[in-house]
Amino acid sequence: MHTLARRLGVVVWPAFLGAAALETVVFAFVDPAALLSPAGGPLALSAGAVYSLGFFAFWVLSAGACGLTLLLGRSKSELDGVPRRALSGSER
* CA–CA separation, 35 and 17 (whole Å): 25
Look at residue 39 and give its three-state secondary structure: coil
* CA–CA separation, 31 and 51 (whole Å): 10
| pTM of structure | 0.76
66: Cα within 13 Å, side-chain hemisphere: 19
> What pLDDT does 54 receive?
95
The CA–CA distances, whole Å, from 68 to 12, 26, 65, 85 equal: 12, 23, 5, 25
> What pLDDT does 41 receive?
87
> What pLDDT does 37 receive?
85
Give mean pLDDT, residues 79-89.
65
pLDDT digits (tens, 9 = 90+) for 10-69: 999 999 999 999 999 999 999 998 888 888 888 889 999 999 999 999 999 999 999 999
Can you name the residues that pair with 42 across neighbouring β-strands?
36
